[in-house]
Structures are given as structure tokens and as C-alpha cells.
Amino acid sequence: MKTKTLLMMVASSAGALCAMTSQIEAATQSIPLSLPPGFCLLANNLHVGDNRLNTVFPSVPVESQVLKFANNNYTADIFDGSNWLDALTGNPSRTTVSPGEGFFFFNPSSQNLQVTFTGEVPQGPLTICFPPGFALVGSPVPRPLFLNSSNGFPRALELEILRYIRPGQQYGPGYRCMIVDGSTWLDCATGNPTTLPIPVGEGFFIYNPLGTALCWTTSFSVD
């Protein structure tokens, strides 16, 4: 499936993300991020308390928003200056942003917003399943995600990853869009092999072309 077609499908095709983690010995880490005005595609790679928005983003500008994408739909929450609310109902938000999930964050201000995730590092055996179609995901651990065979990341013909470029607020062409030929990750624009990592704190869309879920099982520990 061509990249252009996939980009057009993002707004209408997705699935629920199933993330399962188990933990060994607790270890704490901080991830500082600088979020420019507008939308960023993020991932919380730590267990920040209960992972609810009031815990992860306790102090952000009024009208900041978080959008999650599952079951072919976006859900939105908004910050009123004191609490996060469901943008549709106005009720207190119950949304979580947990390791393995991706989400959009909207910075309504005209300046970069400095945020820091501080929490427990997921450890032990970790499994994330990508349903058929599009899902909005992130790495379950606070390390860059390299697309190589050594970390067990699933591979399938026409599996694709789409990154969202903060400068320009758009899905990026070229190296920011990767597709697999069944064995090797390729740059969508050039066809050249690539293992370009997904940075810590960044979410991404994954397109699973199969009719069944693809699962990624890995193990992580803090030495």
C-alpha cells in the first residue's frame, strides 16, 4: 500500500492498542521535553503514578489538549487551568497515557512548553499488540526505538510507521515514514534501508496490514 494512501487513511482507520507490562525492581527516571506551540505526537515511556492526565500534566496552559486515537476515533480532553476534563462531556477526565501508548498534545501558547515526565521505568517482559489497521503507539520503555531485528520488533510486508513532524505540524515525508519489505525497513521516499530510531518521548502511528494483531515482545531492565 502506497504511503500517500496510508496518510489519507489515518483519520479514519485505527484500532485499540493492547499493552501489557510486568515489573521487576522499581527504578525512577525523568524525561524532559520541550513542546512547541501547536500539536506534538508524544509517548509517556514511564509509569507516572496512575498515568492519568492530572498526574502526568498537572500544570500546563489553560486549553491544553490531549487527543488519543483508537477504534477509528479520536477522543479529546482539555485542561481548564485546574483539572483535565473530557472535552465532549465536560466531566472529569479518566484518560490515561501509559507506556506503549501514543497521543497528541496541543500546546495553545505561543512559546515552547517545558514538561518533565518523572516516574517508574517499566521493566521485565513487555508485550504490546498492534491491531489491524492504524494505531497510535509509543515505545513502552524510555529508550530510543531502533527498527532492527535485535529488539524483536515485528515485521510484515507493508508494515508502516508514520512520524509527526513538530516543525510544520505535518506527517513527514522521506525518512520519517518507514515501510518494511517483509524483511528490511526501508525509507519510503528513497527505498534505502533505514534503522532510524524513534526518540524517547515521541509517539507514532503504526499501520498493520494484516488481518490479525502483530505483537512485540521485549524485555527491559535498568542495570
Give the pLDDT confidence of 63-101 residue by residue, as tens digits. Answer: 999 999 987 789 999 999 999 999 999 999 999 999 999
Model confidence, pTM: 0.83
CA atoms within 13 A on the CB side of 11: 3
* pLDDT above 60 (res 143): yes
DSSP element (H, E) containing 130: strand 124-130
Give me 171's grid cell. Answer: 506527517
Look-up: residue for cell 530510531?
A: 197
Among 24-28, 30-34, 105-109, 179-183, which stretch is predicted with the lowest mean pLDDT? 24-28
Look-up: residue for cell 498493520?
A: 208
pLDDT for the residue numbered 176: 55
* 125-133 average pLDDT score: 92
Calpha distance 2→201 (Å, rounded)? 28
Mean pLDDT of the chain, nearest integer: 83
End-to-end CA distance of the chain: 41
Among 7-11, 34-38, 121-125, which stretch is predicted with the lowest mean pLDDT? 7-11
